[in-house]
Structure 1
């Protein structure tokens, strides 16, 4: 991944994923950085949202919306794999699958049956495991809110995911489904799933990489997502799951809100909606 960095004092960087080293005149995603000395001065550049990001020994491949492939050293992890099975053909079969909850944009039994093998461990909440209808070769490891375990040399913590807005509580009720923190060699990655700005999220510590949702009516507003991120202060945050009933949410605005209040958080923008092209 090639980062576009503005080396200014007290800067929060907004970087884009890069699939290869070739530059393109069609790059279009805005980045903005602001100095503490001259708060009114803003600089911006453009780059296309790309399809791969590298975080040291962790490679991140957005698939679509809430689905992604993580390749962490020699371990391949699929997160909420749904959609066309062919999207996963170019990646290794997963050692582990993380399923956050049972909604169709996160849980697809046909896809799970196609991508998993007898060497795959599927991690999911009890409510999701109870809906499995097929005989999967994969092992199923049930985790509920607050549970921790270690699989494939990766520590996994199940974090409560639920709505806090009164009008949205029926979408994702408290105590039923999971976000996850996964950790290896001291690096901690948070995957929000569909959630509001919960107390559990706000109390997260030492997160290196966070994937945070934002869309109405199902999860958070852009403003609420930014406030939550500013509470738990991950080193880097990837906005994802940002398609709502009224279209795609403004991730540039999210980045602006974050960097206006913090010079320590990098917002990374990837292409989660390739169908637009």
Structure 2
């Protein structure tokens, strides 16, 4: 009888211990600030910094996308191997931040409109890419995509040919970063995209509805709304998610923490 009682006590403690461990694990997974793709040989990590700025870690490669906000914005991040810049506006290109985070080794990839503004100290590892260019760098295939406005009232913001969106191919991942664009033909015709970062803010890029419609055309596996703070506040990303997932449930819309509450970002 004593043995049975002792065994019962052990089982209760074991159950409670497992339950506590499970609860701890659940809390950690919920609060984890990155999206992780576990299907690649080495996991892809997506770390939102703010608005258009993010860090992508692909194995040993660490990509800073449109780094702004000073070195403090990247505290705790690994040193970059690549720095990709899409356009000349201050929410994408900040020279002070570049100088603070540049480690002397990272490849800086940028359109010509950005490259001409870089000082000599940042030139040695500079790679200028124009729309349509593609380069293989350290196991990554990087393609420069067009990004531009379509609406007549917005043409002055992003003329065709000045800035770059990017497609980054690594392992089984094909990642599209839209940059500042509208629902252009080049976006709608994309194929094989596994993850897409799509902008939507007025008056600078596009409304939610055309953004969703374009995503339904090129059918990425996962889409992340980003760059959705505009002149009049935040775009309705819940509406975007509803349009996309209602019309094509195979496309997953994931939201990440890009902004502090009520933060408004302006392109100019």
For the criterion TM > 0.5, the same-fold answer is yes
Q: Distance in 2 between matches of 1:21 and 1:192?
A: 34
SS of the residue aligned with 1:274? Answer: coil
2:57 aligned residue: 71
* Contact 1:213 1:225 (8 Å CA) reproduced: yes
Q: Distance in 1 between matches of 2:55 and 2:262?
A: 20
RMSD over aligned CA atoms reads 1.8
**Residue 51 in structure 1 maps to residue 55 in structure 2:** no
1:231 aligns with one of 206, 214, 217: 217
Unaligned runs of 5+ in 2: 1-23, 264-268
Unaligned runs of 5+ in 1: 1-19, 25-46
**Residue 267 in structure 1 maps to residue 244 in structure 2:** no
Q: Distance in 2 between matches of 1:101 and 1:112?
A: 14
2:128 aligned residue: 142
| Higher relative contact order structure (alpha carbons within 8 Å, sequence separation ≥ 6) | 1
**1:66-96 CA-partner distances (Å, limit 9, x unpaired):** 0000111111000000013212120111000
Q: Normalising to structure 1: TM-score of the pair?
A: 0.81
**1:183-219 CA-partner distances (Å, limit 9, x unpaired):** 0123100000000001110111000000000000000
1:23 aligned residue: 27
- Structure with the larger helix share: 2
Q: How does 1:175-194 map to 2 (within 5 A)?
A: 175-194=161-180
**Residue 88 in structure 1 maps to residue 78 in structure 2:** no
| Pair member with larger Rg | 2
1:217 aligned residue: 203
CA 274–55 in structure 1, closer or farther in 2 if over 3 Å, else same = farther
Q: Distance in 2 between matches of 1:172 and 1:22?
A: 43
* Contact 1:123 1:143 (8 Å CA) reproduced: yes
- Structure with the larger strand share: 1
Q: Distance in 1 between matches of 2:142 and 2:77?
A: 22
Q: Normalising to structure 2: TM-score of the pair?
A: 0.84
SS of the residue aligned with 1:257? Answer: helix
**1:215-248 CA-partner distances (Å, limit 9, x unpaired):** 0000010101100100100000000000011111
* Contact 1:65 1:241 (8 Å CA) reproduced: yes
2:155 aligned residue: 169
